[in-house]
A and B are shown apart, each in its own frame.
Chain A
Amino acid sequence: MLPQGIQLRPASFIVSAAYLQRAGILHAGRTSWTESNGYNQFAGSSGNLVGALTREDQTPPLQPRSVWWAIKAYADLAVDTSM
């Protein structure tokens, strides 16, 4: 889910998750893209969790970006979707 241009924005992740929840979709994946320097989020030496972390060549390397915190806040909803 999420086009390349907005993939790293916290609001885009949250609002997309809201749409999926209202539609009753229980499982979805985050799309892997190339970043501003051509880095492939999925095929790097270790990858950067599909853009959730900074790249290995950034300072600091492999640290949470803002979208990582949005994903965490979404996970902290701790909803049981099996019931």
Chain B
Amino acid sequence: MGHQSLRRLGGRYVNVTADANFDGLASWEASTGSIRVVLGNVGGDPTTEVPLVNLGAITTAASARVRVERIRNTEEAALAGMTVVTDATFNVTGGELRIPISGSEVWDAHAVTVTFSQGNNAPSAPGSLTIR
């Protein structure tokens, strides 16, 4: 376990709406053109979809790199790290980007990183995000 220096805190929270099984938080950081989402599975449904909507408020990018990591619940046992379950390019269509999550178990968490590599990013205006 390495020691990480404090990073600059430049992000803004983005609105998140829970579904029956998943809830969490999201942030948008203009300087890196990235959205981060963390989700917890408190219902047990193995799948969900994370639609990022109103992306036109923050970027003109037509696509994004999406990385989804699973944090498997191990209770008192050690966990060596997060498991990458998705690392791919997704298209932005009509200001929306939909991220599927599968293979989840109750009490797991998931970390999603979305990076817009092209297009102009708005300096600070947050979009809105819905989980369902």
Contacts and interface: CB of A to CB of B under 8 A. Distances in A.
A47 interface: no
A54 B74 CA distance: 11
The 8 closest A-B pairs by CB, nearest first: A11-B40, A10-B109, A14-B40, A73-B111, A9-B107, A77-B27, A63-B78, A80-B9
A76 B109 contact: no
Given A12-B42, A73-B109, A58 B76 contact: yes
Interface string B7-22: 1111111001010000
Contacts of A15: 23-24, 40, 42
Interface of A: 6, 8-15, 17-18, 21, 35-36, 54-55, 58, 60, 63-66, 68-70, 73-74, 76-81
The residue in A13, A14, A60, A63 that gathers the most chain B C-beta atoms within 10 A of its C-beta is A14
B41 interface: yes
Given A36-B76, A66-B74, A66-B79, A10 B8 contact: no
Query: Chain B, interface size: which category?
Result: 35 or more
B73 interface: yes
Contacts of B11: 77-80
Interface of B: 1, 7-13, 16, 18, 23-27, 29, 36, 38-42, 69, 71-82, 106-109, 111
A63 B1 CA distance: 8
A70 B1 contact: no
Contacts, number: 121
A17 B42 CA distance: 13
Contacts of B107: 6, 9-12
Nearest to A59: B78
Which residue of A13, A54, A58, A77 has the most chain B CB atoms within 10 A of its CB atom? A77
B73 A69 contact: no
A77 B1 contact: no
B82 A73 contact: yes
Given A10-B71, A18-B16, A21-B25, A77 B108 contact: no
